[in-house]
Structure 1
């Protein structure tokens, strides 16, 4: 930014005509009271023609104060200024004084001191005609002595294509020493600050390499070099020849700085994204810069100043406008970019006012432009740090937004949402956290495809938002981008929002359910979404989002079985869940400790009353609860995906028991229940092969029981596993037939060896016509697919008689025996193969259990 204003400031100074504040008299009286004398007089000025001899020009009648204004403008001519110095002191001791020029880049600057028309001292102070030998460099300084009664004449010759002569100041010895010390201190602070700032941003650039920091460092470096030439402190740090080169090429450096400033602005503001309307014009800087650079090198400075001033002004306005545009488009770091410009403008204004004598001459005023530029670099450094924070925040915001639905996501919910609930509860006694769960979303994705379903889902959100906007009980929170929002999208295609529960939360949930359950139409395509809604009350005492989220999920788990329903969390449901969690822990521990044991219930031929097989049933030997039946833990094990581990223990115990039975009948079949997860397990067949190899049992003596629901959940995988088991020689039975949902086509593909009739149809079959009709249908269906039938749960002679009349072949139940331990079963049925058949009343012998 300073780059664009650097030459502009000089140009304004050159073009301004400071004639309104200076006196006509060019005589200065020096006395004991004179410590610092800023020369503001409108000096007698002579325009040089051919004669450059100071002795001849000393008394020329062509000196005229009207020529002074012309001498302050850029041009190719040299000008002579005449100034009279008078000494007025109390004693005759010579007093040392120093004439200090504040312009450090004049090409030709010579000072001649005359007394009574005699040249008594001269010095070349310009860049080209420098004859001083001050070490270290103190700037253009002409030192002289004057005593009481002296009247000295100063002739100052200045020739430069650019900067003007003024201002300059006369100091006495103490003030000059103080001025010199302050100048070195000022230069030291400036250099140290710029170096530290450069090192800091170089370190940051090393950690975060990128074009923005690169162009800032280039801009910073060129600005540092630029001001070292403009203010002269480069003589302290650069080789003399390099400093002379810099000071004589200020205008080409301005061109380079404008281009670098444009590159920095483009990358810092990310113009392509935040200011696209300005971005397309930035390419012109690449076109104009080489042309302007060549012109400023080959043409005299005074010829390039007018067009270059226009270019600088246009570039300044363009880049400032681009920064304001980026700010208006939400790029907050642009505010520091704009503020840095303001620092340069303020510094430039103070500097101009000082040079044209509108304000008192001070060191601060003389260097205000440089101070403003240092402040600009500091603010740009702050802007870069703010840009990193902005990028980090934007990345976090992006991480908190669902890319498809543009809604806050689960990451936002767990990290940021809690900070928004507390302020909302300041005005409300309680809130309700509501989750809308779309049950059939995944099925619809498979049916319709995501390209069609996603617009449907967005329309679903849109209509729900429209409803909430119309209700006084809706609650808004802040979107990660800062705007108001209702919804958070959650995993599993759930939608979370807050409402004010009031006294009729159920009515509000019913209203929400009605709207969500209405068909959604997009592009003449109508879809009905299966919706369930869960809710939990949020209070100041129970404000944790995750805890309330858990409670809403519990409410959804405990909803009514029908679709399109709602449920509100209750502590009782939580207690039940905690009980299940505790049960799950105990199940896992029981698996590890092998606390599961098998029981065997015999199966009989209904006509011969011989034991033809048995079903393996599982029991859990619980330390506190004792022996637990499968109904108390199997469902939880299936839900949590650990049922396969229990099945493997059952199969291992069963195969081991079979392997040690020497008197087992040849056609005796042991039935083992399989779960859905067993059929899906890709390692299940390998496990069975390992068990066969380990125990050397015959597959023909084993039957695997599966439910019809198990097959239907994933028919292809289930049928594949069943087919492999059958090819290995195992029997397959369909368990609990008639209680699930069946597909006759799948039943035909399974080619089951047996069909087991569920006990719900056997109970009271002798008096229930319905049960008898259903059972008869199942038996006929089994016969149609060449499968044998086994009736489960026979408990009485009447039930046995009724089932025999329907031509069922086999049965099991407590009419014969309750489930027995393996030892009791072996003792009863295998100890003597010719033992009298057990036909009746064994179910009453509780000692066998």
Structure 2
């Protein structure tokens, strides 16, 4: 809006300047006697020629290879005036050869060179336009001959005026030029600072356009010799259409860069791919053809640019790119002025004060408009950056920042701070599985696809809170993380129905790499304000509920106080565990391993134990998973290894005929240099690796993992044995047998405990023992808690021709 009064004032001021410059007492001849030069003719011969005719004057205003002479005849001055001086001014400045000859009764008394490619001599020192003084005598008749020749149209817009009017008009002309130059320079300086501030790549085209317009205006309106040297002025005139062609190309590139955020024109369109070659062809044409031909080509380019850029601008506006308003405004003025100036060039429009002012006004208004367009674009880009900071780039949904920074204000603005709401979080739990199976890129694409399907489903549902990123966009889900989305129900009483509708979408298979894949997910919910008085607490409680999903009772768990208490207990455990690991409070027991065939102790398994002063004894089944979830498992493993190796170095006889098995987490093998750290501990206490077995709890898949492979290779080369703990309960058992190059297989107690009563457990246990035999690795049975199971396995040992080791109650040696 601020642009409108400025442009109005500019138009008014320019119009007044033009009126002052060309107003006053003056005379403009409509037809001038004209003579066409066929062979080179001197001024004296032309003066004496009787071939001057009014009928040749229209022909002399067009393109021509011939030279034309005009003849103006003036009466004698009266006796009272003695001598009188009139001034002839010329309003067209791009005729290459333009000579004036003043005669008194056939006697040549003065001559002037005013052609664009001519040396004006001393007259160019204080240039103020083309002003020819015509001194009238009371004794002699006076004639003025004008000879013109050039490649451009030979237009002859002249005015005759007396001395006082000429003096006034010279001053007004100087003011007019000063106004144009000052305006262009101020705009140029302003835009340079704007370019430095915005640092937009397309802005360099705008600065170049400023310079091209400055050069073009200086030549067309005649003040080029005022600011440029004679040599530069002559080069510009000789290559004027090269300058115009460069200006048109710059406008084309400027438009593409200005609109590139809108993808207009589209990257694959012909105009985007080959548009530059159109201007290259035009520039080549200026060197090969006559001015008349490439003037026609330039007129075509002007019309083409006008329609194509206006079309682009309108499309961009309908796509919501509001800065294009000033862009369209500027294009309209610039190209309208340029086309009208071309019509003057082709003598379709006459050169008058109004038409002569069209192009300067259009150029200045256009530059102002583009400046405002860039400023407006900068504002929109800043708004877009703010929206982008609140938006998930992959799905264009509101993101985590929006939830925590903008949503509280939205709830307050809509008066929902006292209304009952329900926050629902959906966790797509199979992202890692998809990444391992198909790669991260396809896994992310599958996540985005299902999230957008949920988004489409929610947009058709009632009772969900809309989230507004802008005036035109409102969504109903927020993407908090790669695999977590949330929505807010304004009808908690209908929450079950709403979640069921979304589950129908989630349960629909997704096509991933030509495979129908069904997503796994967990849903948790929390009520506002009863289960969370702010969005942070509400989200926390919904996460607690989501993490409590076990799949056995469904995919959705609402938040309850019991879940809160369990979560608080886990947080306390993590805090106490961190402190006790740091202070070396944890210790270990050694559980003997007995050979079933000989009943001899052949080794022992190190079992970590934790007794806290505040909460007493804590089961490994409770604190080990917490340590893995929080990253404490790495410190815990390091402390355990160092303690075991220290004990082993202090009790060398205990390991003379026996081995020790040490449990580590599967996550440990995913650490870089894990094996190297074990070897450093081993070297520190001067122990040998073949007395130790590393047991890995089967919780992860290691296929094609370079870190796991390197760690396993180093451990085997050092002499360690590797065992899989709790075999049969993981989903990747067979893969891990290969990945870990296993030396020992421990049958989980789940199968051993049910051997007497469960035929399936007997079959599975026998198959696992047979597998160990075929792989030539040791079998270890866990969970023998009765003589019946012990005897059954002893019988099996003889029957299956296979030695089996079993774990006995803990050995009294502890740390």
Q: Normalising to structure 1: TM-score of the pair?
A: 0.66
CA contact (8 A) 2:128 2:226 kept: no
**Equivalent-residue separation in structure 2 for 1:370 and 1:566 (angstroms):** 71
User: Does 1:48 pair with 2:35?
Assistant: yes
SS at match of 2:132: strand
The alignment covers a number of residue pairs equal to 752
**Equivalent-residue separation in structure 1 for 2:61 and 2:731 (angstroms):** 103
How do 1:769-784 and structure 2 match up within 5 A? 773=757
Corresponding residue of 1:639: 629
Change (3 A) 1:86 1:312: farther
Change (3 A) 1:449 1:150: same
User: Does 1:438 pair with 2:425?
Assistant: no
**Equivalent-residue separation in structure 1 for 2:181 and 2:710 (angstroms):** 87
Corresponding residue of 2:574: 584
CA contact (8 A) 1:603 1:613 kept: yes
Corresponding residue of 2:798: none
Corresponding residue of 1:812: 809
User: Does 1:407 pair with 2:404?
Assistant: no
Shift of 1:373: 1.6
Corresponding residue of 1:3: none
How do 1:816-831 and structure 2 match up within 5 A? 822=815
From 156, 165, 182, the counterpart of 1:165: 156
Shift of 1:139: 0.9
How do 1:606-625 and structure 2 match up within 5 A? 617-620=607-610, 622=612
From 285, 290, 298, the counterpart of 1:296: 290
* 1:554-601 per-position Cα deviation (integer Å, ceiling 9, x unaligned): 332122443751134457656654654454344334333323334568
Shift of 1:636: 1.3
* 1:416-467 per-position Cα deviation (integer Å, ceiling 9, x unaligned): 9854774476447266554433334554666678999899777755754553
User: Does 1:80 pair with 2:71?
Assistant: yes
How do 1:686-697 and structure 2 match up within 5 A? 686-695=676-685
| Alignment RMSD (CA, Å) | 6.3
CA contact (8 A) 1:513 1:533 kept: no
Change (3 A) 1:658 1:377: same
Q: Normalising to structure 2: TM-score of the pair?
A: 0.69
Corresponding residue of 1:470: 460
Shift of 1:660: 3.3
CA contact (8 A) 2:73 2:143 kept: yes
How do 1:299-698 and structure 2 match up within 5 A? 309=299, 312-314=302-304, 316-321=306-311, 324=314, 335-345=325-335, 347=337, 366-380=356-370, 407-408=395-396, 412-414=399-401, 418-419=405-406, 422-423=409-410, 426-427=413-414, 429=416, 432-440=422-430, 442-443=432-433, 460=450, 464-465=454-455, 467-477=457-467, 485-486=475-476, 491-519=481-509, 526-536=516-526, 550-562=540-552, 564-569=554-559, 573=563, 576-577=566-567, 580-581=570-571, 583-598=573-588, 617-620=607-610, 622=612, 630=620, 633-661=623-651, 672-678=662-668, 686-695=676-685
CA contact (8 A) 1:98 1:141 kept: yes
From 171, 179, 183, the counterpart of 1:186: 179
SS at match of 2:506: helix
**Equivalent-residue separation in structure 2 for 1:778 and 1:653 (angstroms):** 38
SS at match of 2:525: strand
* 1:50-74 per-position Cα deviation (integer Å, ceiling 9, x unaligned): 798699979999887x987676556
CA contact (8 A) 1:584 1:637 kept: yes
Task: Structure 2: give runs of 5+ residues left out of the alignment.
Answer: 1-20, 773-777, 795-805
SS at match of 2:549: coil
Change (3 A) 1:324 1:446: same
**Equivalent-residue separation in structure 2 for 1:115 and 1:169 (angstroms):** 18
**Equivalent-residue separation in structure 1 for 2:157 and 2:734 (angstroms):** 108
Change (3 A) 1:722 1:61: closer
SS at match of 1:78: strand
**Equivalent-residue separation in structure 1 for 2:226 and 2:189 (angstroms):** 18
Corresponding residue of 1:827: none
CA contact (8 A) 1:601 1:820 kept: no
SS at match of 2:71: strand
How do 1:55-66 and structure 2 match up within 5 A? none
**Equivalent-residue separation in structure 1 for 2:59 and 2:717 (angstroms):** 113
Change (3 A) 1:156 1:322: farther
From 98, 103, 108, the counterpart of 2:92: 103
SS at match of 2:33: strand
CA contact (8 A) 2:595 2:601 kept: yes
From 37, 60, 63, the counterpart of 2:24: 37
**Equivalent-residue separation in structure 1 for 2:377 and 2:487 (angstroms):** 33
Shift of 1:637: 1.0
CA contact (8 A) 2:660 2:691 kept: yes
* 1:787-815 per-position Cα deviation (integer Å, ceiling 9, x unaligned): 676767x8xxxxx88888878898537xx
Change (3 A) 1:667 1:719: farther
SS at match of 2:155: coil
- Which structure would you say has the larger Rg? 1
**Equivalent-residue separation in structure 2 for 1:93 and 1:638 (angstroms):** 115
From 174, 189, 195, the counterpart of 1:196: 189
Shift of 1:296: 2.7
**Equivalent-residue separation in structure 1 for 2:373 and 2:31 (angstroms):** 49
**Equivalent-residue separation in structure 2 for 1:99 and 1:542 (angstroms):** 89
Task: Structure 1: give runs of 5+ residues left out of the alignment.
Answer: 1-33, 762-769, 795-799, 823-849
Change (3 A) 1:578 1:443: same
CA contact (8 A) 1:39 1:167 kept: no
SS at match of 2:123: coil
CA contact (8 A) 2:700 2:732 kept: no
